[in-house]
Chain A
Amino acid sequence: GDSVTQTEGLVTLTKGLPVMLNCTYQTTYSPFLFWYVQHLNEAPKLLLKSSTDNKRTEHQGFYATLHKSSSSFHLQKSSVQLSDSALYFCALRDNTNTGKLTFGDGTVLTVKP
C-alpha cells in the first residue's frame, strides 16, 4: 500500500534561517502530494499541493517540488519566522474515489528568536 516517510521528528531553528523538511513516498499509482500544517490546538490546513513532476509550487513563502524520479516532495522556506512553529505533515492522496490521504508521521518545527 501507499506510504509516506518524514525523517525528521523535530526541527529547531533560529528565526531567519532556511529550512527543509523531508518527505518521500511510495505508491504504485501516479502520485498526488500535499503538505499540511497544524498549529497548536488547531485543525490541519493545506499548505501546498502537487501532482506535476519537476514543477515548483509555492504558498505563503513555502515551496516544494515533486520529483517522481526520487519519490520526494520536500518542503522548503528560505527564511523561517516565529509564526512558522507548527506540526507539518506530508500526505499522499489515494488514486481511487475514496480520497484517502496517507500521512507521514509529521515534523514539529520550532522557530526560536
Chain B
Amino acid sequence: VTLLEQNPRWRLVPRGQAVNLRCILKNSQYPWMSWYQQDLQKQLQWLFTLRSPGDKEVKSLPGADYLATRVTDTELRLQVANMSQGRTLYCTCSAETGGLNYAEQFFGPGTRLTVL
C-alpha cells in the first residue's frame, strides 16, 4: 500500500531557477511528514518535519536553499532554490506517537533533481 505520492518524480532545473515539489499523504494515520535530501554521494540528511497545516520552515544547506510548507493535513510542499548540485528529495511520514518517539518513517518514491 502506497502511503506517499511525490511529484514530479524527476526534474531538470536550470541553474538559478527554483522548483516546487509536492508530497501527498494517502493515509491520515501517519501525519508527521518530513523532507530528507540525498546527495550525489548518497548521503541522507534530514531537512524538516512539519506536523500542522500552516507550518513553514526555511533552511540553507551547501548546494541548495529550501522552503517547506505544510499546506493541508495531506499535502507537504518543498521549494528548492539556488541549487548547484543534483540531489534526490524524499518525503517521509510517521505515525502519531504521543509521548513515545518510537515510530518508523516511511519513505516516498522521491524526486530526483538534476542541474542543467
Does chain B have a CB within 8 A of A95?
yes
Neighbour of A43 across the interface among B45, B46, B94, B107, CB < 8 A? B107
* Residues of chain A contacted by B110 (CB below 8 angstroms): 43
Query: Interface size on A (CB < 8 Å)?
Result: 27
Interface contact tally, CB-CB below 8 A: 58
Interface size, B (range): 20 to 34
* Residues of chain A contacted by B36 (CB below 8 angstroms): 101
Interchain nearest-CB distance for B59 vs A (Å): 12
A residues adjacent to B (C-beta < 8 A) = 32, 34, 36, 38, 42-46, 49, 51, 87, 89, 91, 93-103, 105-106
B residues adjacent to A (C-beta < 8 A) = 32, 34, 36, 42-46, 49, 51, 90, 94, 101-110
A and B contact pairs by CB, cutoff 8 A, 29 listed:
A32-B102, A36-B107, A42-B109, A43-B90, A43-B107, A43-B108, A43-B109, A44-B90, A44-B107, A46-B105, A46-B106, A49-B102, A49-B104, A51-B102, A87-B42, A93-B102, A95-B101, A97-B32, A98-B46, A99-B34, A100-B34, A100-B46, A100-B49, A101-B44, A102-B46, A103-B45, A105-B43, A106-B42, A106-B43
